[in-house]
Structure 1
Amino acid sequence: MSPATPVICPFCYLGLRKLQKALSTSPHISPSPSSSSSSPSPTAFFQPPSIRFLPYELDPTLPSDHAVPKRERYIAKFGGDAARTSAMESMMKANGEREGIKFDYGGNIRNTLLSHRLMERAFAGPKGHNDSEGAGWETQLALLDKLFPHFFEHRGDPGDPAALARIAVEASVFPSEDEALKFLTESDEYGPEVQEGIQDARRKGITGVPHFEIFAGGSKEGKETVVKAEIPGAQDADTFVAVFRQLAEAYQRANGGSKGDEVEKVAPGTSAGAKC
């Protein structure tokens, strides 16, 4: 599963929480790390997914060397309309409460490239590491689970190196804040990979986030089968569960044929979910 997820998009935070709820309730996702069944069944035959969070630059005009007030930035985005901004804040706070999120629109905002580099480091590990899988998706998820509340609930600066270094240690991305700070301020490690990821999203035509790409599959009798769905926007948990069901059905159909089946851009209802 590959969501494009910048840390300053409120709908990405909502989308992650809804996805996590869906993964814990879907009858098509096994609750255990592995399945004892050797063949697909109508329910619970997909193992829990690995989630690879991909970079997406929501606002490249944000400064990187200093922070600006978050609320002022939103007002400017809405053409100077403070009333419209206030209505948006009220709507997001209500949406957040339903998912256990306490949105706070105070605090500052700045460029997110540092956080994207940190997310890449969390996934891949240090450059030249013998383990090609690095720290892995679980460390990346642990980091994102701290970055979102830092910015959206605790008025944290999403591009402050010192704050990011502290969070990186809390999420076990680095053993010490000094090492994390050195990575953030004295190198551009994973900078090219972040830029390539941003360009890749553009090549795919992704113009808003969150955007979820879901791949599922496996091998049976020597045949590799992969089914795919794309979900734009922060959909409800029930929508994700429905898509998991569609993927399960497509996987079973594919295993009855001569080649893999692909579910392209499964429609999650009549319209895309809310996105930044």
Structure 2
Amino acid sequence: MLTIEIWSDVVCPWCYLGKRRWESALARFPHADDIRTEWRAFELRPHQPTVPGDTLEETMRRDGHTKSELDGIFRWIGELGEQQGIVLQPQHYRPVNSFDAHRLVKLAASHGLADTMTERILRAYHEELRNIADHGVLRALAKDAGVPADEVAALLAEDAHADEVRADEAVAARIGVTSVPSFVVDGREAVHGVLETDALSAMLEQVWARHTAAAGS
């Protein structure tokens, strides 16, 4: 079994794109059943409040981007999403804190539902424009994903799984993950950015060949 860890943030459109391309690469990989994907937490905006405020466009305008520049970037991101069958509309995003969403994914992972939970949160934030920091929203999304409601309520009332999220972030800092998505193979080498599906397929072939050669030596 070969483990691929993917550091990502649910409020990152590139991570949603990266997830779709990763799934496409796995679908064409002949040894996909021997690949274990583990989702790791990363907060792009760890100090972001839980209540939606300015839009992403307004935030980026303050950082020096022009409206015409952002229009082009956002249109391009939307087109890339269409190619993967997802809706990306960054011009409408109102960034919020993603820490509790990451904790919820950790809880879901204990039930074998990490991928399902991640997918549901991504769709809620990017396509439905919901506040994924709101506990009522998270409870509803967890129900959709099949995570036990009583465990979700306990999670949101306390700080369960916070240490796991912080541990992911500590590992990211130690191994040099500074942007997402980042793909880490067997805890050693990292590939950063939104790679094309063909590039991800090539990576899989290379690491699989190295992995099987090491196992046979």
TM-score, normalised by the number of residues in structure 1: 0.71
Distance 1:163 1:69 in 2: 20
Answer whether contact 2:177 2:190 (CA < 8 A) is retained: no
Q: What stretches of structure 1 of length at least 5 have no aligned partner?
A: 31-46, 125-134, 216-226, 258-276
188, 194, 205: which is aligned to 2:165?
A: 194
Of residues 16, 24, 27, the one that matches 1:24 is: 27
Q: Structure 2: which 5+ residue stretches go unaligned?
A: none
TM-aligned CA distance change 1:74 to 1:18, over 3 Å: farther
Alignment correspondent of 1:67: 52
Q: Give how far 1:256 is off.
A: 5.2
| SS of match in other structure, 1:67 | coil
Q: Which has the larger radius of gyration?
A: 1
2:84 corresponds in structure 1 to 99
In the alignment, the residues of structure 2 paired with residue 200 and residue 229 of structure 1 have an alpha-carbon distance, to the nearest angstrom, of 13
CA pair 183-254 structure 1, distance change in 2 beyond 3 A: closer
Please give the alpha-carbon distance, in whole angstroms, between the structure 1 residues aligned to 2:212 and 2:152: 45
State the distance in 2 between where 1:244 and 1:229 align.
13
Compute the displacement of 1:74 (Å): 4.0
Q: Is the contact between residue 22 and residue 197 of structure 2 (CA under 8 Å) also seen in structure 1?
A: yes
Where does residue 248 of structure 1 map in the other structure? Answer: 208
Q: Provide the rounded CA distance (Å) in 1 between the counterparts of 2:69 and 2:161.
A: 38
Identify if the C-alpha distance between structure 1 residues 72 and 91 changes in structure 2 by more than 3 Å, giving closer, same or farther.
Answer: closer
Contact 1:229 1:247 in 2 (8 A): no
- SS of 2:41's equivalent? coil
**Alpha-carbon displacement from aligned partner over 1:224-262 (angstroms, at most 9, x marks no partner):** xxx9653211111111111121123223433453xxxxx
- Number of residue equivalences: 213
Give the whole-Å Cα distance in 2 for the aligned partners of 1:248 and 1:80: 42
The equivalent residue for 1:87 is: 72
Length-normalised TM-score, structure 2: 0.89
* Structure 2 residue 2 is matched with structure 1 residue 6: no
Q: Indicate the structure whose relative CO is greater, using CA pairs within 8 Å and at least 6 residues apart.
A: 2
- SS of 2:37's equivalent in the other structure is coil
Give, in angstroms, the shift of residue 196 of structure 1: 2.2
Matches within 5 A, 1:19-168: 19-27=22-30, 29-30=31-32, 47-64=33-50, 66-76=51-61, 78-79=63-64, 81-105=66-90, 106-124=92-110, 135-136=111-112, 139-168=113-142
2:152 corresponding residue in structure 1: 180
User: Structure 1 CA distance, aligned partners of 2:207 and 2:152?
Assistant: 39
RMSD: 2.1
